[in-house]
Chain A
Amino acid sequence: MFEKGVVATTNFLQAGANDAPVLILKHEEVADAPAMSAALKSLLGTDAPVESTRLKLVFDRDPALPEFSALFSKEDQSFLIPTNSFAHADLYLKDKSLVYSIDRIDRPNPPPRWAAKLNDCCVKTGVPPDLDGWTKLGSVPFDRGKAQLVSLFSDSQTTEKFGSLPRASHIRGPHELKGDALRAIEALVKSGDPGSPIIVVGHTENSGFRVERPGGEHISFEALTQIAIAADRPVFFVGCYTADHFHSMAGKSYLRDYIVSGTLNTLHPREMAPKILDAMSSSSSMREFTERLSDESLNVWISNNFLRSVAEGTARTVRAPIYKKMSDGRTSIVGFLFVYLPCKFFGGC
């Protein structure tokens, strides 16, 4: 009978065995890396990764307690025990009714990030996951009939993909902006329904969107958020990062999630446009909209402090980097999703 410590097992059956080995470890053993390495190797009988094998861990304490930090680094979002042989894991926490399914993300620089799944595919979050926040996001309606798009991608083929959206109530490309870009967006936002969302998409650098038209402008997220606040409307920013943005992250611990040098195989406008269009036309909640932006190759990773109160408690925000699997097998942040939700959608904050 398991009473305290950590239990580790897998779904892998070694040759000739009737059952998978089960390890029952004391907390102090978990902190001993060489001992853990040998123990985990005994689960598989090999160091080599075994396809589809899941590491199953049972932890007997509240993850807020220090013992959890011997098993998992919340800062790096990575296991501290040697998990090289595994790409998937199930985490059982004491007194929690749910099992957290977590996947390894091989980011550009080690250690790998481990992310908890919020749905079958492909929205993820940190460990331990905030499932209450995810449920709350599902209760916020998405008014798809009145949602408005502002696309700042300068690419006529992308604009054409948004062609089904009427020009009068959407900005389908920067060439449709007349005069000052920020004022034109403001006029559009004011003209819309206060309960419906605005989705702004474009290339991002230096905390704002690049308006890609002759004499190009820069519109800060702050200015756009102020426009949304004044109109009391929810706003989604979907941004594709420029390398300049990666450079501004220098020195931050999560820089290891970005590919910094060389030509980036990043997020392309024609890749995002159909997803945005599909999400706009078929989502009925803010959560669903978020889910529809992701797929097998583009994962949305929602930070654990989502639905954080901002603007003196008048709104909540969701921040979520978008990860993309690169041709070399690594997974890098290529963009982000930011959601600003006035408190009226929650009946107060």
Chain B
Amino acid sequence: MSRRILFNELATLLGYLNPSALARVVAEFPAFEAEIALGPDAGPAEEDRKYQVERATFALALSEQVVTEVRKLTEKTISRTVSLSSSKLAVALIAGLGGVGTLGAFGLGKDEIGRISGIVTSAIAVLNATLDAMSKRYTSAEAAKAIDLSSAAIGLSNLRNELTLLIKNERSIDEIANATDKCNELALQLYTRKQQLRLI
């Protein structure tokens, strides 16, 4: 049985978040243009390794762009809901989202960043732990949305790194396909919650 590398949900999510960004990625991989428009076909059995890796590479490019778009959306959500100067939640979210270095972009000093970096070693754990404490001060729905989006961006980013390593180390197509499936599945989960999360 052939093992098909799928990227349809990544493309659907990216097309929903930013159609121009999807068009830009597809322009770099014109071989997949029809599949992006019409959905995945059943797939040929004789897909060689080169073609499969090309599909996985396309999935990587889509994932990268999805992470960028979800991060943008998270930042927007944070800026809408919390006051950056006073909110530990915002700090935690930003740190989790873009890494500690991102904090500088929000006007925080080096000392403060250094102090914060000690508590954001596990971004998602911090975010979840902080939610209860902050919920009285900020709308919990918005905070939860920011956490969901941040978690998704981190999750997809990690999966993307894993997939990159598998391709680079020339691992088996099954392993590469499994890793791509996880990226695609995460995109599907986010897309199916698009109303709830008010993605756009």
Give every chain A residue within 8 A of B51 (Cβ-Cβ): 263
Shortest CB-to-CB span from A90 to chain B, Å, is 36
User: How far is B34's CA from A210's CA once the two chains are assembled, in angstroms?
Assistant: 22
A288 close to B (CB within 8 Å): no
Partner of A243, one of B6, B39, B45: B45
User: How far is B189's CA from A156's CA once the two chains are assembled, in angstroms?
Assistant: 10
User: How far is B51's CA from A262's CA once the two chains are assembled, in angstroms?
Assistant: 11
Given contacts A156-B9, A157-B12, A205-B1, contact A264 B44 (CB under 8 A): yes
Give every chain A residue within 8 A of B192 (Cβ-Cβ): 156, 175
- B8 with A264: CB separation less than 8 A: no
B2 close to A (CB within 8 Å): yes
A158 close to B (CB within 8 Å): yes
- A242 with B12: CB separation less than 8 A: no
For B1-41 the 0/1 string (1 means CB < 8 A from A) is 11000101100100000000000000000000011011111
- A264 with B41: CB separation less than 8 A: yes
- B181 with A214: CB separation less than 8 A: yes
- B185 with A243: CB separation less than 8 A: no
Partner of B42, one of A157, A247, A261, A264: A264
Give every chain A residue within 8 A of B9 (Cβ-Cβ): 155-156
Shortest CB-to-CB span from A326 to chain B, Å, is 12
Closest chain B residue, CB of each to CB of A241: B42
Given contacts A206-B1, A214-B181, A243-B2, contact A266 B8 (CB under 8 A): no
A271 close to B (CB within 8 Å): yes
User: How far is B189's CA from A175's CA once the two chains are assembled, in angstroms?
Assistant: 10
For A255-267 the 0/1 string (1 means CB < 8 A from B) is 0000001111111
A344 close to B (CB within 8 Å): no
A129 close to B (CB within 8 Å): no
- B45 with A266: CB separation less than 8 A: no
Shortest CB-to-CB span from A39 to chain B, Å, is 43
Chain B interface residue number, banded? 20 to 34
B46 close to A (CB within 8 Å): yes
Shortest CB-to-CB span from B4 to chain A, Å, is 9
For B180-191 the 0/1 string (1 means CB < 8 A from A) is 010001001001
Chain A interface residue number, banded? 20 to 34
- B39 with A270: CB separation less than 8 A: yes
User: How far is B185's CA from A267's CA once the two chains are assembled, in angstroms?
Assistant: 23
B43 close to A (CB within 8 Å): yes
- A242 with B8: CB separation less than 8 A: no
Give every chain B residue within 8 A of A214 (Cβ-Cβ): 181, 185
For B105-145 the 0/1 string (1 means CB < 8 A from A) is 00000000000000000000000000000000000000000
Given contacts A156-B12, A243-B46, contact A269 B39 (CB under 8 A): yes
Give every chain A residue within 8 A of B40 (Cβ-Cβ): 154-155, 268-269
User: How far is B2's CA from A245's CA once the two chains are assembled, in angstroms?
Assistant: 11
Give every chain A residue within 8 A of B2 (Cβ-Cβ): 242-244
- B44 with A156: CB separation less than 8 A: no
Interface residues of A in 130-172 (CB under 8 A from B): 153-158
User: How far is B32's CA from A305's CA once the two chains are assembled, in angstroms?
Assistant: 39
On B, residues with C-beta under 8 Å from A are: 1-2, 6, 8-9, 12, 34-35, 37-47, 51, 181, 185, 188, 191-192
Can you give 27 contacting A-B residue pairs, CB < 8 Å?
A153-B39, A154-B8, A155-B9, A155-B40, A156-B9, A156-B188, A203-B41, A206-B1, A214-B185, A240-B41, A240-B42, A241-B42, A242-B2, A242-B43, A243-B2, A243-B46, A244-B45, A246-B45, A261-B46, A262-B46, A268-B34, A268-B39, A269-B38, A269-B39, A269-B40, A270-B37, A270-B38
Ranked nearest first, the 9 interchain pairs of A and B with the lowest CB-CB distance are A268-B38, A243-B44, A243-B45, A242-B42, A270-B39, A203-B42, A266-B41, A269-B39, A155-B39
On A, residues with C-beta under 8 Å from B are: 153-158, 175, 203-206, 210, 214, 240-247, 261-271
